[in-house]
Copies of this chain bind each other. A is one copy, B any other.
Amino acid sequence: MNWNRKDLITIQDLQPEEIVHILDTALTFEEVGHRDVKKVPALRGKTLVNLFIEPSTRTRTSFELAAHRLSADIVNITATASSITKGETLKDTALNLQALHADIIVIRHSSAGAAKFLADRLDVSVINAGDGAHEHPTQALLDAFTIRQKKGRIAGLNVTILGDILYSRVARSNIHLLTKLGARVTLAGPSTLVPRVFEQLGCRVCYNVEEAIADADVINLLRIQHERQRQTMFPSIGEYASIFGLTKERFAHTKPDALIMHPGPINRGVEIDSDLADCKRSVILQQVSHGLSVRMAVLYLCAGAQPAEEAA
C-alpha cells in the first residue's frame, strides 16, 4: 500500500491496513539494530525536533535513537527551556520550528489534542508522542509489533489490560489498535479507574483480576501513575498491589504461554511482582527494543521518503 499521511496523531484514525503497513515497515528496520553500523541514510539532511512540553526521557530517547539511525539531525526542546514559558502560544512555537525548516516535530504534551492542533496547522510532519490522557500511538504500535512477533498474529487473541485505564493514553491507543486488528480486549482494575463506559469501545470490563487474566494470551500491565491520580481512586499502593497486582500466584493460573507486557517504567512490587518482570514470559524489554524499529518506521513513512526496501 501507499502511505499518504504526513502525521501520526491517533490510532483511532488509522485503517487496519495502515497499522499493518507500519508494522511491516518496522520489521524491515528491525534488522538495522543488529548491524555493526546501525544506520541507514534514509533521512539524511532532514531535521527532527523533539518538542517535549511534558518531560519523558524514555520516549524522547527512543525517538532520538530512531532518528540517529535514520541519519536525521535532531534538536531537543523541553518544556522548562522552551520559550513557551515566555507566553508564546503552542501554535507560534510550532510555526517557528517550521520556519526553521524542521521536517518532523515529535510532540509530547499534557493536553489531549495538542498534536492534532499542530498537525492541522503545519505543513511539516507531526508525530504524537503522547497527548494528555488521549493517545500514545507509537506505544500501541510497538505493543502490537511485540505481540505479532511472539504470537504470530493479533486477530483472535485475548488481550487483558490491567491497571489505570481511565487516565491512560496507552490504554486508549491499545484498545483502538487491538480491536481494529481483531483481538478481544478485556480491561481490569479498580472500578474507579476502569469505568463501564469503555464497553462502548468494544471491550469487556472486569473487576476481578483472576477472571480477567484467566484466558488471556497477553497481559498488558499499566503503570500506576501517582502523579495524575487523585488520591481517592484507591486506598493505598499496598492495597492496589494486593488486590490488582500481578503476583506469582495469580500468574500461575493463566494460560501457560500468556505474555506479560508493560509500557514502563515499572513499579516493582506494585503492579507487578519483581520476579515476574524478569521471567521468560515477560517481554517488557523486547517492547523497548521494538519501539525503536516502530518509531523508525513511523518517522520514515511520515517524512515521505523512498520505499523502505531501498532505504534499508
Which residues of A are interface residues toward B (Cβ below 8 A)? 33, 35-39, 44-47, 49, 55-58, 61-62, 64-65, 68, 73, 75, 77-78, 81-83, 86-89, 92-93, 95-102, 264-268, 285-286, 288-289, 291-292
Contacts and interface: CB of A to CB of B under 8 A. Distances in A.
B33 A38 contact: no
B58 A96 contact: yes
Given A65-B47, A83-B57, A288 B38 contact: no
A96 B264 contact: yes
17 contacts: A33-B101, A36-B45, A38-B45, A39-B45, A55-B81, A61-B77, A61-B97, A65-B100, A83-B264, A86-B265, A87-B265, A88-B264, A88-B265, A92-B266, A100-B288, A100-B292, A101-B289
A288 B99 contact: yes
Nearest to A74: B68
A127 B173 CA distance: 38
Contacts of A285: 95-96, 98-99
Contacts of A45: 35-39
A267 B99 contact: no
Nearest to A72: B68
Contacts of A61: 49, 75, 77, 97, 100
A57 B37 contact: no
A293 B281 CA distance: 44
A57 B44 contact: no
Contacts of A35: 45
A150 to B, nearest CB: 15
A89 B33 contact: no
A289 B37 contact: no
A98 B285 CA distance: 9
A77 B55 CA distance: 12
Given A65-B73, A75-B64, A81-B78, A101 B38 contact: yes
A12 to B, nearest CB: 27
A96 to B, nearest CB: 5
A100 B289 contact: yes
B57 A99 contact: no
A288 B97 CA distance: 9
Nearest to A95: B285
